[in-house]
Amino acid sequence: MRVFKTKPFARFADRAGIADAALQEAIQRVEAGLVDADLGGGVIKQRIARGGRGKSGGFRSIILFRRGQKAFFVFGFVKSGQDNIRRDELKAFRFLADEMLALDDGALAAAMGNGTITEVPYHG
């Protein structure tokens, strides 16, 4: 299982103080079948704990996910700032999932090389 974060998500995580360890824990929960919301088409919504406050008062993330293969953190938000994603956003995330989950090792290496994505160390 390889885990990545997109450049925009990485900026969000940095500003919010979300460490890679929290992302690893979120993926471990997903791999264990503890998905907060399966939005279809390889798109899931998963909570990420806010330091010292737990998951319920924390962040929400949109992850493009294919079990045992790849996961991409693509969008993050604070629950108090946004309740949910809109239908048009979900449609865009599903399209993005089709594209990103199909990337082979060469395309992933190129995306990492140009800074579009960063790999998150993961040892599920």
- Angstrom CA distances, 66 to 46, 54, 78, 79, stand at 14, 26, 24, 25
Helix, strand or coil, per DSSP, at residue 10:
helix
Which two three-digit tokens encode residue 1?
Answer: 């299982």
Model pTM score: 0.92
Helix, strand or coil, per DSSP, at residue 16:
helix
Which two three-digit tokens encode residue 23?
Answer: 């992302």
Average pLDDT, integer, range 82-92: 86
Q: What is the pLDDT of residues 12-60, one digit of tens each?
A: 999 999 999 999 999 999 999 999 999 999 999 999 987 655 555 679 9
CA gap 4, 59 in Å, rounded: 17
